[in-house]
Structure formats: structure tokens, C-alpha cells
Structure 1
């Protein structure tokens, strides 16, 4: 097959890690170096407006190998993460990205590179993702985008987006798998000492602790009381009783203060507690389920899977390295 032309679009505010990820997967080995590194049929170039160096988010300057004109012949344009507040003003790069996509190139972002795709108009009406801490901002600034905060990446055919940082490697491997097959993707993963495919999504990495009490937050004490008793079979009626309210009044007040129904909130806190126990203890999964108030490992697996898109045992392997 002919070499696939990949262009990494450099912008002021680009994240070095993401540029390095794309270069590691799609770039060639250093000239004259003999190594078992897989040689894949990709031709990689780094492009920037005017062919000028860009200043990354860390203040380090990167020199491109070409100007924006190389996007005209690209098969795949990769945009790494970039500072969201600075990408919108870089119209030359964004227009070149939009034009390349209109000519048939795939457009792919890593982490906050999704903001560049959104500014270029490539995400309107599409499902997309970005780093979990920026998902709300992406959805607010670009309401036409269907933002999914739970996944590691989204493949929407000719437009692909990934969650934060390491999820960029997951998406790069996914692209290699689609272009060249599973064996090629596995070889690249082995070289980079990463898993060829990770279970679950970025939901398992989102930290969602109990929010701090606010002035006038009348149910904060009840929420704290519930969190201290997650190992008991609490229900909405128990929380309402503690707050000295009827269940209906309590539920209405609870939603007004937290934006969540009491039952859903309670389940979220149980999952959060289970995550902490899996991360910090060697307790059997059945005991983790009991201490988190799920009653059984089977019940915990259901709720844990819905919240994190992975299994408790897989989550523990990820965060504790337990075989």
C-alpha cells in the first residue's frame, strides 16, 4: 500500500506530550538507528502557520518541518492538546484544518485538541470527547457538539477525538488497527510498552468527591451523615428522616441543592467509596461491596460498571498494579 500521509498540526499552546504521542506512533525511526521499532507505512510531517516555530503550553518552542500547505495532501491531520483559550484566534491553522477535512482528510484530536476541531466547525452535530476536566467547557462553548465525558475516544468516521493525554495513545493505536490491522497495532503497543487496548473509559479516572458545604446549603449535614454510613442500607427515607423532612420535601430540596436525585447521589457516593477501597486496600471485592453498601459483589459490579465503564477487578489492576 502507499504511505499514508500524516500531518501533526502545531499551534501556539500545543501540549508537548500529545505531539510526542502522535510522533511516536506515526513517525519513522531515527535515521541510521537499527532497532526492533515497527516501521509502519506512514509519512509524518509537523506543520505550523508560516512554517514558523510555535510556543507550547510549557513555554518550549517547537519547530515544524513544513507550513500549512502540506495539509492539502494529508490523509490524516492530528491536532494535539492545546490551551483552549488561545486556539480560537489562530484562524490560518483552523482554516487549513477545515479545508483539509473538506478535501477528504481525516481529522483527529488528542485531549483538548478537540477545541481546535470545534473552532474549525468539524464537531457540529457530532459526538466527541476531550479530557474529562474540559468536557463541560467544550459542551458550553459549542452546544452543537454531543460531548461524551465517559469514553477514552470517539471514532466518528472521518473525525476522531480522544480523552486526555494517555488516551491519545489509545486513539492512535485504534487508527493503526483500522489502517493496518491488529498485528501492526499490537507491535506499536509493545514497542511503547502500553496495552494494545484498554478496558473502560475515562469515567474511571474522574474524581468526584463529596462537594464542600456552601452557605445556605441546608442538607450538607445530612449528606455528610450519609457518607459516614455508606456501609449501612440507607434509603431516601432514612436521609429524609435525618433532615426532619418528609421524603417528598427532602427529594425536592435535595435536587435543588445538588442537581441530583437522592438515590442517584447515594449510589454515586457508594461507587466513589468503592473506588477508594479498591485503590488503597487489598480487601476482597465482596468486602469492598459490603463496606460500600452494595450488599454483594454482583450488585456492586452492576453499579460500578455503569459509573466507570469497567469492572472492579480491572479498576484495581489499573490503580494498584495487582496481578
Structure 2
């Protein structure tokens, strides 16, 4: 029997706890008794914990009486994970992680592991909306922005919220084979393996800064004129800069080349049209500035890991 412990704390995200727990609980229906998962929850303070959605959880243990050796120790996310350093649980957590076979985080639970220095030099991920913050707060971590979940040795980290279910299914498949994992996925009505990564859920571009700088003017020109034939030369002209100076300054200020910005803006425009209209793909491509439906499909597959048709099926 494998033991799975899930840490809980004030403002924890309920689905980060319940999602993986249901995977292992349902798996027990398909496993011999000696192969079952035994689940427990451990609170950082009191047994009674209020989650971020206002509901209360009754933990099995508090730190003082909790065991410290598990086959798998999971740290969920939520506002309580990234808004607090949780110094009170760090000694117990450090010891428990060292004594356990595997450990990992769901969503923003990665911030708690980061405070212990456990992300340094490791391939990790978190919810797409927090990857940049995670990378800034723990610069020694190797943060992936797209993967649904990552395993780096005994450490597992997952993307946002329901990605904890994907990770738990992956753990189940590794423990007991794909057949059992697929059976559990069917019960939960989720895909055993998702198409695409986290990037399909996040905008490729952040909002353009509301300032009257040459680079901001060029960015806004792109967003206002996506159907036009945009090239670096024309954008440099809008910015009133030489071609070389514009390209270098744009990459430095924006973090991508001018044409990467144009392509990402076109993908984001197309995504909005696919989500909110029934326009033919050829029309979506034209209104987003792509030369053809094929060009749009190639860039979608490159940036998001799925085609425009698949994206519309998933989000439209």
C-alpha cells in the first residue's frame, strides 16, 4: 500500500487537493487491496482549515502529530501558497521531503517548495499566470512555461489547478500501468493526455504599456493593423528609429523580436475569433493577418501545440 499525503493550509485551492485525491481514490477500485493508495491530509496549523473558496477542510493531522514518511507528498497551491512563506511548516516539510520517496506541487504550491530551495537547478512548472513570478522569485529554478506537469527525479510539479489531475494520472500510470490510469481518466471524464500545453490557455502577449515611447507606438501599430503586411522596416519607421537600433531596442524592451511580436499578436487575434465566432477558418486567418489558412495552422501548431480547428473544438 502506498501512502499519499497532501498538505493543507489557510487559503489553499480546494481543487488542488480534491483533484489528485480523487485520482488515487478511484484508482483503488481497480487495484488489489495490497496496492491501494492510503490518503491523508496534514494541516500546517489547525485541523480545521478554510480553503480559498470559503469551504472548510478537516485535516487528518497537524504538524505536531503527523507522520513524516510517505510514498508521495503533495503541496497544493492557492493564494495561501504564494502570499505566505510558511516558515512555521518549513522544518517539518524539509524533513518529510527528505524521508519520502517522491514529492511535488500542484499549481502554485511550487512557491512553498521554492522557499525551501528545492526548485534550485530543477526543471519545474506552475500555473501559466504565475510562471514569470516563480522565475523572478526563485531565479535558480528552471521554469517551464508550457508543460502540463514535469518530473525531475523525485520532484514533480504541475501547471494550474486541474493539471494536478494530469500529474496524478501520470503517477498512477507509472505505478500501475497505463490501463489503470486510462480507466480512472474515463471515470473522471478527462483526457489521459491533453493536446497542447499550458500556452493554449494563456495569452501569448501581455498588454501593451500605455506610454508614448517609440516601442510602445510600434506595438500598438501592430495591434491596430494586423491585417496589413507588417515588416520590421515598417515598424522601425513608425517608431522613428533606424532598423538596427529598433530591432535591438524592441528585443531588449519586449523580450522578443518584432516579428515574434507580430506572430504572437496574430495568434491571439485568431484565438479570440475562434472562441467567439463561427467564421470559417479561412476568414479567421485573413482577419488575423495570416497570408493563408495554412500559415495560421503552422503557427498555431508551433506556438500552442494544436491546430486552429482543435483549438475551436476545445474553447469555441
Category of TM-score, reference length = shorter chain: 0.7 to 0.9
In the TM superposition, what whole-angstrom CA distance separates every residue of 1:194-223 from its partner, at most 9, and x where no partner exists?
Answer: 111101111111124562443342343433
**Closer, same or farther in 2 for the Cα pair 1:38/1:295, shift >3 Å?**
farther
**RMSD of the alignment, in Å?**
2.4
- Are the equivalent residues in 2 in contact too, given 1:152–1:163 (CA < 8 A)? yes
1:38 corresponds in structure 2 to 29
Give the unaligned 5+ runs of structure 2: none
Q: CA deviation at 1:88?
A: 1.7
1:32 corresponds in structure 2 to none
- Are the equivalent residues in 2 in contact too, given 1:13–1:87 (CA < 8 A)? no
1:108 corresponds in structure 2 to 104
2:9 corresponds in structure 1 to 11
In the TM superposition, what whole-angstrom CA distance separates every residue of 1:71-101 from its partner, at most 9, and x where no partner exists?
Answer: 4331001111132345423433x33332233
Deviates more, 1:216-225 or 1:233-242: 216-225
In the TM superposition, what whole-angstrom CA distance separates every residue of 1:147-196 from its partner, at most 9, and x where no partner exists?
Answer: 11111111113110111111111111111111111111111111111111
Give the unaligned 5+ runs of structure 1: 30-36
Deviates more, 1:109-118 or 1:225-234: 225-234
- Are the equivalent residues in 2 in contact too, given 1:22–1:78 (CA < 8 A)? no
The one of 235, 238, 247 aligned to 2:234: 238
Deviates more, 1:82-91 or 1:196-205: 82-91
2:128 corresponds in structure 1 to 132
The one of 294, 298, 301 aligned to 1:302: 298
In the TM superposition, what whole-angstrom CA distance separates every residue of 1:15-56 from its partner, at most 9, and x where no partner exists?
Answer: 111111122112369xxxxxxx93442111111246632332
Once residues 276 and 77 of structure 2 are traced to their aligned partners in structure 1, the CA distance between those partners, rounded to angstroms, is: 31
Number of equivalenced pairs: 310
Once residues 126 and 28 of structure 1 are traced to their aligned partners in structure 2, the CA distance between those partners, rounded to angstroms, is: 31
The 5 Å alignment of 1:248-287 reads 248-255=244-251, 257-287=253-283
The one of 191, 194, 197 aligned to 2:190: 194
Once residues 122 and 215 of structure 1 are traced to their aligned partners in structure 2, the CA distance between those partners, rounded to angstroms, is: 39
- Are the equivalent residues in 1 in contact too, given 2:285–2:291 (CA < 8 A)? yes
> 1:223 and 2:214 equivalent?
no
The one of 114, 120, 129 aligned to 2:116: 120
2:51 corresponds in structure 1 to 56
TM-score norm. by structure 2 comes to: 0.88
- Are the equivalent residues in 2 in contact too, given 1:139–1:147 (CA < 8 A)? yes
Once residues 206 and 118 of structure 2 are traced to their aligned partners in structure 1, the CA distance between those partners, rounded to angstroms, is: 36
Deviates more, 1:199-208 or 1:293-302: 293-302
Once residues 95 and 315 of structure 1 are traced to their aligned partners in structure 2, the CA distance between those partners, rounded to angstroms, is: 45
The one of 203, 207, 216 aligned to 1:207: 203
